[in-house]
Amino acid sequence: MQRTILITGASSGFGAMTAKALARVGHRVYASMRDPQARGGAAAAEIERLARDENLAIRAIALDVLSEPSIEAAVETILAEAGRIDVVIHNAGHMVFGPVEAFTPEQLAQLYDVNVLGTQRVNRAVLPGMRSLGRALMIWVGSSSTRGGTPPFLAPYFAAKAGMDALAQSYALELARFGIETSIVVPGAFTKGTEHFAHSGKPADTERAAAYWSGPCAGADEQALKGLARPGARRCRSRESRRGHRRSRGDAAWPPPVPRPYRPVR
């Protein structure tokens, strides 16, 4: 059965990969991105090409997780066209790299705004309709980093992802009785199809950062990045939130397939 799926942050990386895979197995996919015209509109054009050449039910749509009006406009468009949203995939996020001391409090707040508050803005727009369906799915793209601070120099990102993880688990408890399932996908470092590390933010306090890079941590940044982004280093594991999680029955195609399998960790 075809499901209507909204994916945030689908201009590249996990989001784009997931959007294409789900559309190719027959679902109706809205690949949202902050600005479909960014970089000459290449990402949106690729989605349009797939829809045309492969006859897929996939569409690029503008949605900025930092803007409630943008989110509400996107959700209204989807509901007007499809009539429902069965699945939401929280994928939009941003990463930073550097000594945590060198990041200002404002930088940490900005990262939290994207990775955590962005999901809350989206949920407030989509959940009224999803609750009324009595059967839906919410997927949160987390990070293996939430269980430990390894590797170093990614602490602000780790903290934001841990916040999102905690929010997702609480949502699972509260949404289960409405028939909304919750899954948290926990990827490791992916070296292909994403520019997560290349586009990561840097510390604003360059003087404090230099104290690390020219001191006892000299060369550690390059070593860490090489370890994260070496060819063949891709790995992924996932889990489902157990407390408050309810698996729908009677439909072998539910939840819809995703590019990487997800199974509960006991």
Tell the burial category of 130 from Cβ atoms under 10 Å away from its Cβ (0-12, 13-18, 19+).
buried
Q: How far is CA 215 from CA 155, 156, 205, 208, in A?
A: 19, 21, 16, 11
Catalytic residue among 157, 171, 212, 262: 157
In the numeric block, which tokens belong to residue 254?
């539910």
Both tokens of residue 43? 């990402």
For the chain, the C-alpha Rg in angstroms (whole number) is 19
Let me know if 157 is a catalytic residue. yes
CB 102 within 8 A of CB 157: no
**Pick from 6, 9, 127: nearest CA to 64:** 9
Q: How far apart are CA 114 and CA 160, in angstroms?
A: 9
> What does the alpha-carbon distance between residue 264 and residue 106 come to, in Å, rounded to a whole number?
36
CA distance to 32, 66, 101, 142, 218, per residue, from 92 (Å): 9, 10, 25, 10, 32
Q: Which residues are catalytic?
A: 157
